[in-house]
Amino acid sequence: MNRAQLRFALGVTILLLLAVVGYYLTVNLSLQRQRQAVIEQLAPDLEPETDHRMQNFRRVKVRDGQKIWEIAAQQARYFSESGEIVVDAPEVSLYFSDGQLMALRCRQGRVQLDVNKQDITAMQLSGDLQIQFGDVSLSTPEATYDSATNVISSPASLHLAGPGFTLSGQGYRIDVAQKRLILHAAVHTTLTIGEKS
């Protein structure tokens, strides 16, 4: 084999190796994209930028020895960059000075922390939010709880039911400390006076 034939054989070998490596890289990249698409389809709520995942998440705010609020969830994800905690199916309890409590349940909550990342400033609750206070129940798509003002508010619709009445409206504000509900628009009330015999 002369020198020209050797160079030709070496060149063909190198081209074949490059073609094989390129093929395998293309196939692996394609498989990786397919796997990522399947993961996103099966679990779209998995955010890659999550810093910490927590099981049995619980936070409590106590002032002067008395609970103000408490939030608990089976699972939570913490994002240090935004100072936000995303909780799945949270249960929130707001406590009154007379010992009564208001219970809130929904599909997801987004908890905003203060600049020191120590205290909760707000909670955005969404996904079939149910609020229970004594024998009165309120259902709404979403709401925001502001810890500083102790107010729950939303522009969303709500439906409230209690003994002898139902109430619906659009947009609301609940002053938790005063136990006061203010409806903004489209208010409809139905009263049940008594049973017919």
pLDDT band at 197 (very low <50, low <70, confident <90, very high): very low
- Where are the domains positioned within the chain? 1-44, 52-191
pLDDT tens digits, one per residue of 53-90: 888 888 888 888 888 888 899 889 888 777 788 999 99
Burial class of residue 101 (count of CB atoms within 10 Å of its CB; 0-12, 13-18, 19+): middle
Q: Residue 40 contacts by C-beta under 8 Å, 6 or more apart in sequence?
A: none
Taking only Cα atoms into account, the Rg of the chain, rounded to an integer number of angstroms, comes to 29
Residue that is written with structure tokens 């994209």 in the block: 33
- Comparing 30-34, 71-75, 137-141, the range with the smallest average pLDDT is 30-34
Contact 189, 165 (CB under 8 A): yes
CATH topology (fold) of 52-191: lipopolysaccharide transport protein A fold (2.60.450)
Q: What is the pTM of this model?
A: 0.67
Give residue 36's Cα distance to chain centre: 23
Residue that is written with structure tokens 């927590």 in the block: 54
Contact 102, 176 (CB under 8 A): yes
- Distance, CA of 69 to CA of 47 (rounded, Å): 28
